[in-house]
Amino acid sequence: MKLKIFTWLSVTACTMFAMNAVAQQVVVDSSLLDRVTNLENQVTFSKHRESHLMVVGLLTVGFAANKTKDTYLGNTTISKTNSLADADHYEFSPMFLWRHGKKFLMEFEPSFAGDQLGVNWADVSYFAAPGLILRAGYLVIPYGFYSKHLAAGWIDKLATDPIGLADVPPTSDYGVEAEGGWQAGNMKFNYDVSLTNGMQLLPDGELQSTGIVDNNNNKLLTARLGWLPFSNSSLELGLSALTGKVGDQGTAYQKVAANMYAIDMNLVENIQPFQLNIKGQYNIMNLTHANYTDPNSNNSYSFTNHSTAGFIQAALRPSYSENNVVKNFEIAARYGNYTTPANSIWGAKSNALTFGLNYWLTWRTVIKFSYEAIKTTNTSDLNLGGTPGEINQSNTMYLQYSIEL
At residue 183, what is the residue type?
Q
Q: Total structural domains in the chain? A: 1
Average per-residue pLDDT for the chain: 88
Looking at residue 16, what is its pLDDT? 46
CA-to-CA distance for 75 and 70, rounded, in angstroms?
A: 8
Q: Look at residue 259 and tell me if it is in a domain.
A: yes
Give the chain's residues under pLDDT 70.
1-50, 87
Looking at residue 35, what is its pLDDT? 61
User: Can you give the pTM of this predicted structure?
Assistant: 0.84
Looking at residue 34, what is its pLDDT? 63
Q: Identify the three-state secondary structure at position 174.
A: strand
Looking at residue 43, what is its pLDDT? 52
Q: Look at residue 41 and tell me if it is in a domain.
A: no
- Whose CA is closest to 49, among 102, 96, 104, 97? 102
Domain limits for position 203: 59-90+149-169+183-207+219-404
CA-to-CA distance for 212 and 22, rounded, in angstroms?
A: 68
β partners of residue 55: 96
Instruction: Name, in order, each residue with C-beta under 8 angstroms of 23's C-beta and a sequence gap of 6 or more.
Output: none
Instruction: Name, in order, each residue with C-beta under 8 angstroms of 27's C-beta and a sequence gap of 6 or more.
Output: none
- Whose CA is closest to 354, among 291, 287, 279? 279
Q: Look at residue 232 and tell me if it is in a domain.
A: yes
Q: Look at residue 144 and tell me if it is in a domain.
A: no
Residue 344 belongs to domain with CATH number: 2.40.160
Q: Look at residue 71 and tell me if it is in a domain.
A: yes
Q: Identify the three-state secondary structure at position 211.
A: coil
Q: Look at residue 10 and tell me if it is in a domain.
A: no
Looking at residue 183, what is its pLDDT? 94
Looking at residue 36, what is its pLDDT? 58
Looking at residue 113, what is its pLDDT? 83
CA-to-CA distance for 143 and 122, rounded, in angstroms?
A: 18
- Measured in Å, how far apart are the chain's first and last C-alpha atoms? 88
Looking at residue 119, what is its pLDDT? 92
Q: Look at residue 332 and tell me if it is in a domain.
A: yes
Q: Look at residue 234 and tell me if it is in a domain.
A: yes
Check if the beta carbon of residue 125 is closer than 8 Å to that of residue 105.
Answer: yes
Instruction: Name, in order, each residue with C-beta under 8 angstroms of 47's C-beta and a sequence gap of 6 or more.
Output: none
